[in-house]
Structures are given as C-alpha cells and as structure tokens.
Structure 1
Amino acid sequence: MSNLTSETYPWLKYYPQGVPYEINPDAYPSLIEMLEEGFTKFADQPAYSNMGKEITFAEVDKLSRDFAAYLQGLGLQKGDRIAIQMPNLLQYPVAMFGALRAGLTVVNTNPLYTPREMLHQFKDSGARAIVILANFGSHLEKVLPETGIEHVIVTQIGDLLGFPKKLVVNAVVKYVKKMVPAYNLPTAVAFNDALAKGASGTYTRPQVSGQDMAFIQYTGGTTGVSKGAMLTHRNLIANVEANNEWSKPVLKDQPGHIMVAALPLYHVYALTVNALSALKFGGLNLLITNPRDMNAFINDLKKYQVTMFTGVNTLYNGLLNHPRFGEIDFSKLKVTSAGGMALQKVVAERWRQATGCLPAEGYGLSETSPVLSSNPLLGENRVGTIGVPWPSTQMRILREDGTWADIGESGEICAQGPQVMPGYYNRSKETAAVMHEDESGRWFKTGDIGIQDADGFFKIVDRKKDMILVSGFNVYPNEIEDVMAQCPGVLEVACVGVPDEKTTEAVKVFVVKKDPELSLETIKSYCRENLTAYKCPKHIEFRDELPKTNVGKILRRALRDEEVAKMK
C-alpha cells in the first residue's frame, strides 16, 4: 500500500491508536523462525491445555523438534505433503509444528470426512504421509491403496495426557465408548513411538523461504471439486503479524492470555488466530476437542479465566442458551472474535450483556490465510458489518462489468494483500477465474457480494456463488448433487441453501425419483455414508420435475426464491 491517507482509505481513521497501517510480511524468513522465537521467548509459559493436561512452549518445542527429526528420518524432503487428520488434541500442534520444522507442507484434513472425501484430498495434494487419529483408521484403510501415502502415523486421543491418564482415556475411548472401529493398517507407526524415535534421531533445520508452501487448505468450488488453496510461509506470517498488531491495543503485549480454541485447528481461522498467533504473545490455547458436548465445554471454561474467545455465531448462541452458561467467569474477557458466518445482532448483544465484551466480527477465506477485515477491538464496532480492512490489506467492490463500484454500490468483494494465496494447487484455470488484474494490481475475487460505506466499513449482502454456509463451513451444491445423483433411484436432484436459525443456512435438496419406491430414509442413509455430517441435507423434498432453463439447466435460484417466498 502507498499514499496512505484517510481520503484514499477512509477506514484508516477507525484504526485504534498504535495500530500501524502496514505490517512487514517479511518479518521472518519463514514460519520456522517465528516458531523458534515463540518457543524460546515463552519457554516456561503454558502453551496448550486439553482434557486437564497442560504443556509448555518448551515442551511443544521439544516434542515438535522430535517429530520433525522422525519425519526427516523417513526420508521426507522439503516440500513433501503430509496430511493431518484429527480434532483439537495436544498432538495436533506437535504434529503441525513438527511438519513445518521439517520443511513439509501441511494438508489439513477434516477428521469427519468420509472415505470418498479423504481420497480426493489425498490424491489431489499428493500427500506422502499422514498423521491420523485411530478413530478414523478404518476410513483410511478403505482408500490407502489408491493414494500415494507411504507413511502412516496413528495417534490415540490420550497419547499426550501422561501416565496413567493416557492409558485410561485410550481404554475408555476404545473399549467402553467403542469409538474406534476396527482397522488394519499393518505398516502404521504409533505417534508416541515416532516421537521416541525422533528424540534419538538427528534434526536438520531446512532452508525455507517465505515463498515456500506451508499449507494446502482445501475449500469447495462451484464445480463441486474441492480445491487446495496454497498458503505460503509469507502469507501466514503476514496474517499473524496483522493480527498481532490489531490485538495490541487490548492485549498490551502482556503474556499469560488464555485463548479458547473451540474451533478446530484444521480450520484456517483457528490455525492462524489461535495456534500461530499465540506464538507472538505467549497465549495459552484451551483446546476443546468436542465443543458440541456443551457440559464438558463449560466445565473446561470454568477452570480458567479466559481473556480471548474465537468462535462462530452458532457457538456463541449455543453457549448463551445453555442453562449452565452463568457458571462461567468472564470477568477477564478482553477479546471476542467472530467469523466464519454472519454474526446475528441479537446474539452479539446478548453476549455483550452476559460477558461485557461485544464480539468483533471479521471476514476472511481459506484463500486469504484467512483474515481480510475486522471490526476494531477498541472504538467503532459496527455490528452487522465485517469491519474494515486489516493492515497492508485493501478491499474494493467490483461491478459485473469489471469496473470498480462507487461507495454504497453493491458488487463482488475483492481483496489485495500479502495474505492472499498465490493460487490453487495444480489448478491454474481455477486460479485465473478468481483473480482480477488491472493497473492497480492483482485482486482476489471472493465470490461474496458486498458494499462499502463512506467510512470504509464493509458489509456482505449476498453471495455470488451457490455456496451454502452451514455453521461456518462451506457446502457446495454441485458436490451434494454429484453424490446424490449416484444414489440408486434418483433421477434428478437440485441442492440449495435455506435459512436456518441455528446454522445460518441448511442444506435442502429437491429430488425427482427414478424409482417410485425411493424413500427419504434411503437418501439419508446414502448421504450419511458419503458426506460429512454438515453437508448432509437437513431437508429433502420430492418433486415431479425441477425448474429448468430452455437449454435444460436446473434453476437453483428459482428453487431458492420459492423457499424465501414461503418464509414471508
């Protein structure tokens, strides 16, 4: 950015005092240096807490270094891809940081994926190794022969909880709760065995630059094919540096902050705002393995006086409506960050009344590492907007004709900044489709329709894509339709998003039968086998025919309009 003035960039006047207009995305040569700095600076501070067990930054340093040595001992080279598939456990940061320190590229994988979804991601990324929770080993067994994965490391939920709790938790999970289906992965290595072997091995620090790829974050696409957003070390450093500066007026560079990490670390929001950003100020991440278990979640929250809370609207709403919410002490809460989905005004106000901290809604995407904008943590917080662009970030509104819109005029939100990905992995055509270039540079087209007001605050008003937003997760109709079209007895199918009080939107499908005997339960069962839970249709409606264009293309918008009309 250059020529920084309030006239050119009106949002700058809303930056809290001390927040710079620009950050240095080259503050570190790579994430490895940033990790090492944090591990050293905050060595004795607790870094992560999970299931009653805390580990310090020094312990994460040692464990991740051991894991890096083990990975290098396998012959994995700089740039090789490693998938990590598990919920929020102490093993996650150890595996992730270890992979980065070995110079590998992390492929974050949703642990709830079906074998079909796993297979696509592993083949598309070219992953050579995987760290996976034993609970999902049976899924991996089904697809492993079709992938290029050579090394499998399996962990159990309690592996880093210490003796004897580790043995108790693992036994209960496997034998009492029966959460680990039988699997056969004969060449798999236990996570703790990998750490032990790495501890006696040699770690060689790789030469990694800011332009090297750190993560492949998978996101959906209008074609129904999940694409991997390439995020470089520089992309992530830029977003962490911006987040650090944005938070300083409130956090004041004081260590000891306690962050709630209820969102999964495999999601780019928690990855950057929780796991990576904590390295800048020595924050403790309270890892919540299953936030849907509200009683256990609240029990964890009661153990700490949290200062920072990152979440989505449904998470805040769920807590507010729980009968035990009043048991939590929020007297030290300084920052509540909301993203991933629209923050409802009623939820924001109830949260402020209950905790004294008004959530600051932000905006970002996997392709942007992720944050582009946020409401200021001090000063002007306009609920219902996505705030103002972060340091070193520009946002503009693009008309359909490719020209820039005026203030107050709607169009596609476009962004420019050091956190924007270079492109999708091995997908040059799809990359070109989301980039707009003119004399002002290269802009990423977000697919969201928004407006900018005279003060520079942005607001989302619609989505250009058919993407459905379910509790902060993107669901793409083409993928749902492609899967359901393979269900025996289905002739035609159309998928749309419909408003939902709990999840912002819900998946609804319209089905034309080929087999008159096709039942709702058959469809639901087929979807459960082939789609992650949040992608499964909540509503299914049988139709004799679907609305189409004169060339036979199904009109999803007509179906959406029908649903909207029903609600009026």
Structure 2
Amino acid sequence: MTQPTLSRPWLGRYEAGVPRSFTPSGLTLPALLERTASKYPDRVALTFLGANTTYRQLWQDAGRFASALQKMGVQPGDRVSIMLPNMPQFVVAFYGALLAGAVAVNTSPMYTATELEHQLKDSGSETLVIMDAFYPRYAEIQGRVPVKRVLVAGIQDALPFPKNLLYPVKARKEGTWVAVPYGERVLSMKKVVASQAPTPQPVSVSAQDVALLQYTGGTTGVPKGAMLTHANLVANCEQARGWMTDLREGHEITLAAIPFFHVYGMTVAMNLSILIGATIALVPNARDIKMVLSQISASGATLFPGVPTLYNAINNHPDTPKHDLTSIRACISGSAPLLLETARKFKEITGGANLVEGYGLTEASPITHTNPIFGNQKEGSIGLPMPGVDAVVVGDDGQPVPAGEVGELWVAGPMVMKGYWQRPDETAKTLREAFGQTWLMTGDMATADDQGYFRIVDRKKDLIIAGGFNIYPREVEEVLMSHPAVLEAAAVGLPDAYRGESVHAVVALKPGQNATEAEIIAHCKAVLSPYKVPRSVEFRSELPKTAAMKILRRQLAQEARDAQSGAKSA
C-alpha cells in the first residue's frame, strides 16, 4: 500500500513568530537547569510564601540532593518517588534525582495508602521523598513495599523566619502535625541537603534516557507508568516556548498552582519556567482559592497555566474582586474541556488575559495542540498542533480520513513517550509505526477541518475527568465491588458545573443485603482519593449487559444524564 502524503494545513494558520519547523535542543533536564542558573544566577527561581530561592541556590541544592542520594547508594536508573505538593523541595528533589542519574516517579499527594502501595511496588522505587503530613499513609504499607530510604520534607523547612517557627505551633493546634519517627532509614530532607557538597559524582545521562515515570490510565484504562525521557520533556517545553511568542526570558513570573506531580503542571509550570528563567510562584494547595488569589497579586504573576475548574473557581469566588489580577497576560488551559463562558469571564476579571484551550495526554509529555494565544481561536476546538507535532485523524482502516470526518486522533513528534514501564504489550497497543513515523494512538475520536483545527468529539472510552484529573471507572468499580453488600457496579461520569464531571455509581445489591448511599460513599472514601469518590449512588436490581455479559457503561451513563436533566427541568 502506498503511504499517503500527510498534509499540514495548520502551518499556514500559525501566528507570526511561531516556528514552522522544530528541532529539539537535545538537552537533558539537569543541563536545562544548569544553563539557566548560569545565565540568571541571581534571579529568583522559586518564591514560596515569602521565601525566595535564586537559580544559583536551586542548582546548588539540587546538586546537594544528588550527592546525598549517591552516598545512600542510589544508582543511575533507580527510581525515586516524589510525593510532595508544590513546594521548593519538589523542584530540588526532582532535579537532584535526575542529576544523580535516577528516574523520578511523580506520586500524587492525594493517594491513599492502597494507591501508594501499588505505585511503589510497580515502579520498584527504593527511595521515597514525602511530605511529613503524608507519612502516616506510608507507615501503613512500609513493610510491603521495596522502599529502603525515606526523605521527609516539611512546609516549615521552606518558610522564612518567623513563619518557620509558627507553622508547627499552628499545625499542632489544628491537629494536623505529624510526629515522624526519624531514624536510620527515615531522614530529614532539610538536614540531608544541608550536609552535602553541591558537587555530586558525575554520571553519564543521555537525553534518550528515561527521566520520569508518570502514572496514567493511558488509552486502555490500566494504571501504568509512561516512560518520559529527558528528550521528551525538554522538547515539549521548547515546543510550548515556540508557541508563546511574547514570552520575555528572565522576566516572567509563573503562578504554579497546578500541581507538579501532574505532567501538565510539571511541563508548563515548572520546566517551561526554568527554560525561560521565570520566577515560579509556588502554591501548595490549588483548592485554597484565597491563597491562589493572594499569590497572584503578591507575585505579580504574568503566566497562569491551569485547568478549567481552577479558572472557574476564581471567576466565582467572592474574594476575587479584592485582588488585582491584571498582571496575568496569558494562560493555557489543559486537562479538560474549557467552557467559552469561563474563558470570557476570566478575560474580563483579569483585564484582558488570553485564556485558550489546549489538548494533550500524559504519553505526549503532555501538550500536542493549543489554540493560538493571540490569533484565531476556534470555539470548541483544541486548536492547532504545536511546532514539531504531527497529527492525523485516522479511520478504522488505519488511513487518514477527509477533513471534517470523525476518526481516531494520532499524534507524533519528539514529545511522544518511550513506552509504558515494564508493559511491552500495552506499549504495542498504543504506539504504531505508520507513514514513516512512530504514532501515539490517543484513543480520542476527533475531526480536523481544512485549516488544521482539531476538535475532540468523543473522549477516551468511559474516561471521567473531574477537575482536570483522569478517573478510570474500573478502579472505582473495584472498590465498589469490595463492599460486602454489592453484587455488581458501574461508575460513570455526570456533568458537573464546577468540576466538569463527577463520579456517579450504579450498583446492584446481593439478594437479602442492604446498603445506603452514605454507606457506599463512606466505603469508597476509605480507599480512593477524594476526587475519585462517587458523589451519588443509584441502586438497581440489575445492571444492563451485552450478550457477552459486559456491563453497558455507556447506556448507564446516558440514562443517568437523562435523569439528571429531567430532575433539573422538573
């Protein structure tokens, strides 16, 4: 079969200044930080609740952390799990681990002990960097995971005087203080970093080496680690740099509220900021909208990457009018569909900030498409492929479909992952050689118009997105099924004005058994992260199934949405 010539009409729609061709630098992430630290040594790299860290200090602290890991026996290729919110220690641990030649493993602070156990085992992490407040979750599982050493970081360790002294007092009064049992295998990250020289033993790290395991349900819904290389991650922030034509190197201030443990936050809020020498204003808890607002006005943030839920929360918060948000110039919204009204209102309250919708997925480091920042933004569109990204909509026969027709979106480029960690079969289902390139099959159904603007018409099968977080029904269903009264269960997404979607559980009980909605939800709360817990439960005598006895999730989802619409209109 003759391979078709792929057209790239989007190149003609790029704004002035956006490169039509793209060649990645080939840098590793530590080299990226070293270059910026050399160029802007005295520029503030991190600002955190009144404490500032310059690029020189950040580079040195990363070196000290790398030295500490090497003395503890961490070898190149070993996995280092990082379970921290957005705080200075996250950036130090991430870049320090990479300097030592290790592979970072992003670990959500929202994980329950059960979820943490799975990821530590699957990744084979022998080192865990964790916030002191989260330590009890690790303590539950410590005898069942491969972790040999734990480095504990505290908010108070990053605060300026006298906040560093007042924070523990406040935490004790509020009952949130955790007494960590420090010892030979449980160490203070602050003390470890302070005791080392900023010159680790040099290790040979290639841009093609894996830098990060980013766990995702992927396109098949099975939790697994996407292997993202240095080249993948650096290329993606360079692609974003090319797209944002008005960035001023050494002058921008990024509001980092979207968490770094989310690959979108890592690429746009952290790595892109370091690439351009921006100051990163760290927000440890994006749900604290008062803190987000105060950090925007206090820092004079100019860039604000986020998710629709966050922008919507700011739009509707009673304290928003009290804060000056006019410093913000540009925002790219990712992780979930952006409502037009959200963008309009946000532009109004910021005095003109451009909030545009983009698209990506973990396996692509993650950004592949974005609407032009200042150019033609098509409503309901995910925009154009970024520089260096190839995209095609493919039919069931594996061939490109005509403009306007629906097919599966495939993407290719230097940001596409190496594969899934220790899952070659899953990798083979997701990466395909075609048209002379390696393509990532997104599992999303899409259309592309004749100008190169893409639209997602149907998300990955059964995926629920709540507040920008991916929720795979199977994980929720397994917890539902573990309830002693539940016979069968399904989890579906319902429209939610605030989160985008919320989880709705449909269950059938065993004969003679009883359970209430409150009991089912409480059962889920004990095992699942808060955003995965069902907000509503529907009881049925039985669930609809195919002839092969597969539960018809999509039918249940549609029926639940119809019932929700009917209740609203009644």
Normalising to structure 2: TM-score of the pair?
0.95
Contact 1:43–1:57 under 8 Å retained in 2: yes
Displacement of 1:551: 2.2
Aligned pair in 2 of structure 1 residues 28, 205: CA closer, same or farther (>3 Å)?
A: farther
2:491 maps to 1:508: no
Among 549, 554, 558, the residue aligned to 2:551:
554
Moved more, 107-116 or 482-491: 482-491
Displacement of 1:443: 1.0
Among 279, 285, 288, the residue aligned to 2:283:
288
Counterpart mapping for 1:150-189 below 5 A: 150-173=148-171, 175-181=172-178, 184=181, 186=183, 187-189=185-187
One-letter amino acid of the structure 2 residue matched with residue 232 of structure 1? T
Moved more, 378-387 or 255-264: 378-387
Contact 2:219–2:442 under 8 Å retained in 1: no
Tell me what 2:134 maps to.
Answer: 136
One-letter amino acid of the structure 1 residue matched with residue 151 of structure 2? I
Counterpart mapping for 1:90-169 below 5 A: 90-169=88-167
Among 531, 539, 543, the residue aligned to 2:540:
543
What is the rounded CA distance, in whole Å, between the counterparts of 1:44 and 1:223 in structure 2?
46
What is the rounded CA distance, in whole Å, between the counterparts of 1:191 and 1:464 in structure 2?
40
What is the rounded CA distance, in whole Å, between the counterparts of 1:422 and 1:215 in structure 2?
11
Tell me what 2:8 maps to.
Answer: 9
Instruction: Give CA deviations for 1:486-517 in whole Å, capped at 9, x if unaligned.
Output: 11211111111111111111111111112522
Tell me what 1:236 maps to.
Answer: 233
Question: Match of 1:378, SS?
Answer: coil
What is the rounded CA distance, in whole Å, between the counterparts of 1:98 and 1:543 in structure 2?
52
Among 225, 236, 261, the residue aligned to 2:222:
225
Instruction: Give CA deviations for 1:261-317 in whole Å, capped at 9, x if unaligned.
Output: 110011111101111111222111111111222222222222132211111111111
One-letter amino acid of the structure 2 residue matched with residue 50 of structure 1? F
2:431 maps to 1:435: yes
Contact 2:219–2:430 under 8 Å retained in 1: no
Contact 2:48–2:158 under 8 Å retained in 1: no
Tell me what 2:462 maps to.
Answer: 466
Counterpart mapping for 1:477-496 below 5 A: 477-496=473-492
Contact 1:349–1:358 under 8 Å retained in 2: no
One-letter amino acid of the structure 1 residue matched with residue 253 of structure 2? I
Number of residue pairs aligned between Structure 1 and Structure 2? 558
2:269 maps to 1:270: no
Displacement of 1:143: 1.2
Among 192, 203, 206, the residue aligned to 2:203:
206
Contact 1:222–1:476 under 8 Å retained in 2: no
| Percent of paired sites with the same residue | 39
Instruction: Give CA deviations for 1:405-428 in whole Å, capped at 9, x if unaligned.
Output: 110011111100000001100001
Q: Which runs of 5+ in 2 are unaligned?
A: none
Counterpart mapping for 1:261-340 below 5 A: 261-340=256-335
One-letter amino acid of the structure 1 residue matched with residue 281 of structure 2? L
What is the rounded CA distance, in whole Å, between the counterparts of 2:124 and 2:60 in structure 1?
28
Question: Match of 2:97, SS?
Answer: helix
Question: Match of 2:34, SS?
Answer: helix
Displacement of 1:221: 4.6
Tell me what 1:37 maps to.
Answer: 35
Moved more, 380-389 or 526-535: 380-389
2:365 maps to 1:366: no
Instruction: Give CA deviations for 1:218-277 in whole Å, capped at 9, x if unaligned.
Output: 001576531100000110111111111112x212x3422111111001111110111111
Question: Match of 1:66, SS?
Answer: helix
Instruction: Give CA deviations for 1:120-165 in whole Å, capped at 9, x if unaligned.
Output: 1111111110100011111101112111111100111111224432
What is the rounded CA distance, in whole Å, between the counterparts of 2:366 and 2:219 in structure 1?
20
One-letter amino acid of the structure 2 residue matched with residue 468 of structure 1? I
One-letter amino acid of the structure 2 residue matched with residue 225 of structure 1? V
What is the rounded CA distance, in whole Å, between the counterparts of 2:327 and 2:287 in structure 1?
24
Instruction: Give CA deviations for 1:506-540 in whole Å, capped at 9, x if unaligned.
Output: 11111111252222222112111100000000111
Displacement of 1:360: 1.5
One-letter amino acid of the structure 2 residue matched with residue 292 of structure 1? R
Q: Which runs of 5+ in 1 are unaligned?
A: none
Tell me what 1:420 maps to.
Answer: 416
Contact 1:260–1:309 under 8 Å retained in 2: yes
One-letter amino acid of the structure 2 residue matched with residue 44 of structure 1? D
